[in-house]
Amino acid sequence: MESIAGIFNSLADARRAAAILRTLGIPEDRITVLTPHTSEAEIEASVPTDDTEQPGMGKALGGTVGAAMGVAGGATAGAVVASLLVPGVGPVIALGLLGAALLGAGGATVGAVAGDALEKAMADGLPHDELYVYEDALRRGRSVVMAFADDELIAENARAELARAGAETVDAARAEWWIGLRDAEQEHYVSQGGDFNLDEAKYRLGFEAALHPGRRGKSGQDMAPNLLQAYGSDSATPPFRQGYERGRRYQVYIVETYKVAPRDEQSSKRAA
């Protein structure tokens, strides 16, 4: 299973790109669009809820999908809309089950998010290592298109079409993300007596390792066996370990900075 992803500056561009992917033969239920929404009115207009759903999206914290999974009677899996409140990002609309499963990786299992409608092969293939890149794009107000293809040639064509449609690649977005952090991380590392020019690669590897949803909030010591399996001997080096600790702190900072209050609390503040 080949994964395809592109980052767009607008939801309209992202939805057009998703339509192009469908013309290439990628099934609708293997395509998703993620888009940020900071307005409750926009969320409520896009995602209808029923009377049994608890007011607010607080219960969605960590990626649990709200009660709005059934948008229209008889809607296909690809037409499913999920409202998510993602820690460190805020309110997100996921058009399609893949997006719900990916963002649910931070605090809910794929099965809890998507149920039997999401194939296990697709769940296993979700690019969780790239989750922080998608989160950063969403924080910047951008939209993400993601899809899966069985055929490598179709996947290559899909990536080419996304590029022609104006998509930024995940690799380019990752590089941009690190550029925004690099000066501060270099200053910190040098202040600790390290040679950043020599150790940057391993330091960054450790930093990014801490952002994987399965490691968030967990110390390097607790995750040592997992890190050894994933990164080999690099995981035991001082630059990697320092980068991992800084990545942990970065994740805490992001979640605290972009914390979204429950709807009833926001309403109280507006009333005051």
- Residue 205 Cα to chain centre, angstroms: 18
CA 99, CA 35: separation in Å to the nearest integer?
Answer: 10
Report domain extents, the chain.
2-168, 173-257
User: pLDDT tens-digit profile of 61-77?
Assistant: 233 333 333 332 333 34
Q: Which of 146, 129, 137 is nearest to 213 (CA)?
A: 129
Per-residue confidence in pLDDT tens, the chain, 272 aa: 788 999 999 999 999 999 999 999 998 888 989 998 754 444 444 443 333 333 333 233 233 333 333 332 333 344 567 777 788 888 888 887 677 666 665 434 334 444 444 444 445 566 778 889 999 999 999 999 999 898 899 999 999 999 999 999 999 999 999 999 999 999 999 999 999 999 999 999 999 999 998 899 999 999 999 999 999 999 999 999 999 999 999 999 999 988 755 444 444 443 44
Give the burial class of 127: count Cβ atoms within 10 A of its Cβ; 0-12 exposed, 13-18 middle, 19 or more buried: middle
